[in-house]
């Protein structure tokens, strides 16, 4: 077996075979009842013949397809092997089933010459037609299942690619903004610029050396947010204060990386920086009716909630957050901006909690 190949007779395939067998039994019972009614024969004998022929054909073909197809995803032999398998299954079921039926009814073993011509033709036609129909039905089910799995995989790949693209756009966006702030600080306060550069170096090393997974624990998101806020504190000094509130039971909740930083960056750039005395940023996470709610509020000058996408980096960052929520959570992911009555702005994210959270 090649590395990574799946075993032919794994549990999933065994369950599929058993489902096929149960469907075959039901189909054979229907045929036996129909023959007993139309030919006025012995229902018990018809049942033995029908079940024997059907189950032998089913077992021969179902086991054969696993052996011949190997470890491929589509468990059906390609080319002429598939047709030969069906023909062999029909012959095995016809002769094996009739032999069992003859033994059950004390008839001469496989003595087809004693059959009426019409009865022999009917038996052959029913065996061939029923076997081919059941094979086509099972093949269609397997093919449909395979196609669904391929579609789901393609959708997952597309989602992963979209998230990686959005993250790749956010990271340089944050870096460029920070470097612009650093350039200004170098000219007015070189010692603080050096401290900011050291903090930026630590932040980038921890971020770039981290996992490139599509999600990470909410605790990791808050840790990166703390690093970023400390970085901004060096530039703004006493004008920036912040609090981070993450309940212990929500620390392991998976979220997309860099989900909150654009919101905090927006609060600093458009809320606190235009205000002479600065202000405070509060980031809180909580549960509400099976949903995770994260609020990023500030005491800045406030923004018009009807026009959240302002000029510069703010509009880009907020739009990226919306797109990432839509990509991961669809219609269940929501984001809103609202003015705080006491002054400032509150950005709220809301999306479903995973079952284990």
pLDDT-wise least confident of 88-92, 192-196, 311-315:
311-315
Query: What does the pLDDT read at residue 119?
Result: 61
The predicted pLDDT at position 315 comes to 65
Q: What is the 3-state secondary structure (H, E, C) of 101-116?
A: HHHHCCCCCCCHHHCC
DSSP letters for 254-292: EE-TTSSHHHHHHHIIIIITTSTT-EEEEEEEEEETTEE
pTM of the model: 0.52
CATH of domain 189-352: 3.30.565.10
Cα gap 332→337, rounded to integer Å: 17
Element at 42 (helix H, strand E):
none
Domain boundaries, given as residue ranges, for the chain: 11-152, 189-352
- Give the span between the Cα atoms of 294 and 263, in whole angstroms: 11
Sheet holding 345-352, edge to edge: 240-245, 279-288, 291-298, 345-352, 334-339
What is the predicted pLDDT for the residue at 95?
85
Q: Which residues pair with 141 in a beta bridge?
A: none
Which residues, listed in sequence order, are joined to residue 349 by a DSSP beta bridge? 294, 335
pLDDT tops 90 at residue 72: no
- Report the mean per-residue pLDDT for the chain: 77
Region 204-214: mean pLDDT is 60
Alpha carbons 162 and 322: distance in angstroms, whole number: 13
pLDDT at site 241: 92
pLDDT in tens, 127-141: 777 777 777 777 777
Q: What is the pLDDT of residues 263-295, one digit of tens each?
A: 888 888 888 888 888 899 999 999 998 899 999
Q: How confident is the model at residue 351 (pLDDT cuts 50, 70, 90)?
A: very high
* List of residues 6+ apart from 10 with CB closer than 8 A: none
Most confident of 12-26, 137-151, 276-290: 276-290
Rg (alpha carbons) of the chain, rounded to whole number: 34
Lowest-confidence region among 191-200, 236-245, 334-343: 191-200
Please give the C-alpha separations between residue 97 and each of 44, 52, 54, 129, in angstroms, as whole numbers: 14, 4, 8, 15
Nearest to 101 by CA among 36, 58, 46: 46
């Amino acid at each position: 077996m090649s590395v990574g190949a799946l075993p032919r007779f794994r549990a999933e395939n065994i369950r599929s075979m058993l489902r096929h067998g149960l469907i075959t039994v039901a189909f054979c019972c229907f045929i036996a009842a129909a023959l007993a009614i139309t030919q006025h024969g012995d229902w018990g004998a018809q049942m033995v013949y029908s079940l024997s022929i059907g189950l032998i054909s089913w077992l021969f073909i179902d086991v054969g397809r696993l052996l011949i197809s190997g470890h491929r995803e589509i468990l059906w032999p390609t080319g002429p092997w598939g047709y030969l398998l069906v023909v062999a299954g029909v012959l095995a079921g016809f002769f094996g089933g009739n032999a069992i039926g003859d033994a059950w009814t004390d008839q001469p073993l496989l003595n087809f010459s004693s059959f009426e011509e019409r009865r022999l033709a009917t038996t052959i036609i029913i065996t061939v037609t029923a076997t081919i129909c059941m094979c086509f039905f099972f093949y269609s089910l397997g093919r449909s299942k395979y196609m669904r799995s391929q579609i789901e995989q393609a959708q997952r790949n597309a989602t992963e690619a979209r998230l990686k693209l959005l993250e790749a756009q956010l990271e340089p966006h944050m870096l460029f903004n920070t470097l612009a702030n650093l350039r200004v600080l170098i000219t007015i306060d070189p010692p603080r610029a050096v401290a900011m550069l050291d903090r930026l170096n630590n932040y980038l090393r921890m971020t770039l050396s981290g996992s490139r997974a599509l999600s990470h624990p909410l605790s990791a998101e808050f840790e990166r947010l703390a690093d970023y806020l400390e970085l901004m504190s060096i530039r703004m000094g006493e004008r920036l204060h912040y609090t981070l509130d993450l309940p212990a039971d929500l620390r392991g909740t998976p979220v997309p990386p860099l989900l909150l930083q654009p919101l905090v960056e927006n609060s600093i750039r458009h809320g606190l920086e235009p205000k002479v005395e600065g202000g405070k940023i509060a980031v809180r996470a909580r549960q509400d009716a099976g949903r995770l709610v994260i609020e990023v509020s500030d005491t800045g000058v406030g923004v018009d909630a009807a026009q959240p996408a302002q000029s510069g980096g703010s509009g880009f960052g907020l739009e990226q957050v919306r797109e990432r929520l839509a990509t991961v959570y669809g219609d269940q992911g929501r984001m809103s901006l609202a003015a705080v009555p006491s002054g400032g702005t509150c950005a709220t994210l809301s999306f479903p909690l995973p079952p284990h959270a």
